[in-house]
Amino acid sequence: MARRKWDLPGGEIRLDLGALYPKQWRFIRSTARYTAYGGARGGGKTHVLMRACIRGALRYPGIRILILRRTYPELEQTIIQPMNRLISSATMDGRPCGEMVASYSSTLRMLFFSNGSTVKFGHLQSAAAVTEYQGQEYDWIFMDEATHFTEYEFRTMGAALRGVNDIPKRFYLTCNPGGVGHQWVKRLFVTRSYQGAEDGRDYAFIPATVEDNAALLRASPEYIRMLDALPEGVRAAWRHGDWDALAGQYFSEFRRETHVVRPFPLPAEWPRYRVFDYGLDMFACYWAAIDGGGRIWIYREYCESGLIVSEAAEAMRRLTPPGEAVACTIAPPDVWSTQKDTGRTMAEVFAQCGVGLVRASNQRVQGWLLLKEYLRRRADGRPGLLVFEDCERLIRDLPALLHDEKNPSDCAKEPHDVTHAPDAVRYLCAFRAMGAQPSPGPEGGEEEGETDYSALMTGGESDESYLEYGGNG
């Protein structure tokens, strides 16, 4: 049993923090800047989070701790109430004395310890909520159910991990496979694939399964049987913590070992295509070749944010080598939408910049199902779509797409950051199956059931500068 005790003028205070198992101790004692714990369900994640938080508050007087959950009701039910009950169990000479350890302010949503330590309970209902924490400083941050958060939220909150005191700065995460943050958690802590200034020494992962939680097995021996009865993909994720068997994953067919290949010289006779998805937040462009059997080979990738149309067009021309004949450039239908303030379309600007376009279908569900068909293995054992290994964004984002909760036949549109690359490939698959779609008339109207992407690309505002594109009008 993990116990804390300390002497006060009135006597000795005892606080029983409960039993911790070897992997939970590894989590608490980790010296990495970022430590993640979890994998399968039932591994005792919340139990160890609360104990680690209280231990830290008692060990480092004056420490500032932040605990994050996606919503406040989740936070209240799973962490705040259990922590308050745990603290209230403290005794002095056999009498309750929790108030001498810490007191909770429901107004401030903070726990104030008698030694000067504080625990702030926060939530991020939306990505915009991170601005509430800008300028704040914390010594430790706990992110419960980290896969419910985006990488942007994780990185932004990580910037609050600072201070001039000698307390070691730690970011603790608990997690299960699945959710909008599945891919970044998997990349950093499971596959350990680092980019730019990321240093693998800063990251530690302690995998845990229900077998590591003896208390749960004693209290609910049927829990394992319940997990074992789940559908195969969900069972692999929840029972065994398999990060490649993502519960809710739309493209469960995609496997790196199956669909990703090393680059090789493509036969000159294979027809070539360009396809893209455009937004000011991300321009995702791909080059594809079609072999004699109709198999798609994605062989080049360019993804960049903040590009105006003229810059996007220039990038496509620059990255297409002389002599590489491109049959056509496939574009989403929203680039033909007429802007009310200018009367022009982005398709016109692309054409003025030397890039003619053909219009792909935007029937989302049909497009996604066509992509699924291409991902399936054919009679020769290989899938209908293969990706060169240096197309890193597509390889990362395609398996990150989840089913839309309201329409399971469609992909979720959040996190928006991972949708651009798959959208581009969806347009290609739709074009291969259905050909080019008629361009809209003078009014630039949308097909029935289409989403108006114009507002999405401009944040709901469309002005003249959006279509000037650096003076190319």
Contact between 118 and 103 under an 8 Å Cβ cutoff? The reply is no
Give the pairing type, strands 118-123 and 110-113. antiparallel
Domain boundary (240, 270, 293) is at 240
Residues 286 and 384 in one domain: yes
CA distance 88 to 82: 10
- 340: in domain: yes
Q: Quick check: is 251 in a domain? A: no
The CA-atom distances, in angstroms, between 464 and each of 237, 443, 468 are 48, 18, 6
The answer to whether 116 and 101 are in contact (CB under 8 A) is no
Residue 249 lies in a domain: no
List Cβ<8 Å contacts ≥24 apart for 3-6.
Answer: 4/54, 4/55, 4/58, 6/58
120 and 10 in a common domain: yes
Domain boundary residue, one of 240, 272, 303: 240
Question: Tens of pLDDT along the chain (473 residues)?
Answer: 345 555 545 567 888 877 788 889 999 999 999 999 987 777 688 889 999 999 999 999 999 999 999 888 889 999 999 999 999 998 887 788 888 899 999 999 999 999 999 999 999 876 667 888 888 999 999 999 998 888 888 999 999 999 889 999 999 999 988 777 888 899 999 999 898 899 999 999 999 887 777 777 677 777 777 777 766 666 777 777 788 766 567 887 888 889 999 999 999 999 999 999 998 889 999 999 999 999 999 999 999 999 999 999 999 999 999 999 999 999 999 999 887 766 789 999 999 999 999 999 888 999 999 999 999 999 999 999 999 999 999 998 898 888 887 787 888 887 788 899 999 999 999 999 876 666 654 444 433 333 333 333 323 333 333 333 333 33
Residues 204 and 285 grouped into a single domain: no
- If asked whether residues 103 and 134 sit together in one domain, one would say yes
Q: Is residue 218 assigned to a domain?
A: yes
> How far apart are alpha carbons 172 and 35 in whole angstroms?
5
Round to whole Å and give the CA distance between 465 and 473: 10
- The verdict on 218 and 315 lying in the same domain is no
CATH number at residue 321: 3.30.420.280
Which domain range does residue 125 map to? 2-240
Selection from 450, 432, 364 nearest residue 403 by Cα = 364
Amino acid at 22: P
Residue 43 lies inside a defined structural domain of this protein: yes
Model confidence, pTM: 0.59
Count of domains for the chain:
2
Residues 186 and 264 in one domain: no
Amino acid identity at 6: W
Q: Token match 């080049």: residue? A: 300
Residue at 248 is within a domain: no
CATH number at residue 231: 3.40.50.300
Helix (H, G, I), strand (E, B) or coil at 433: helix
Please indicate, yes or no, if residue 245 is contained in any of the structural domains.
no
Residue with tokens 């798609």: 296
109 and 41 within one domain: yes
**End position of a domain, from candidates 240, 264, 299:** 240
pLDDT at 453: 34
Q: Do residues 232 and 260 share a domain? A: no
Sequence-distant (≥ 6) Cβ neighbours of residue 400 within 8 angstroms: 182, 183, 415, 418
Q: Are residues 367 and 452 in the same domain?
A: yes
Q: Which two tokens stand for residue 152?
A: 């942007």
327 and 185 in a single domain? The answer is no
**Residue 196 shares a structural domain with residue 269:** no
Residues 231 and 267 in one domain: no
Q: Is 102 part of any domain? A: yes
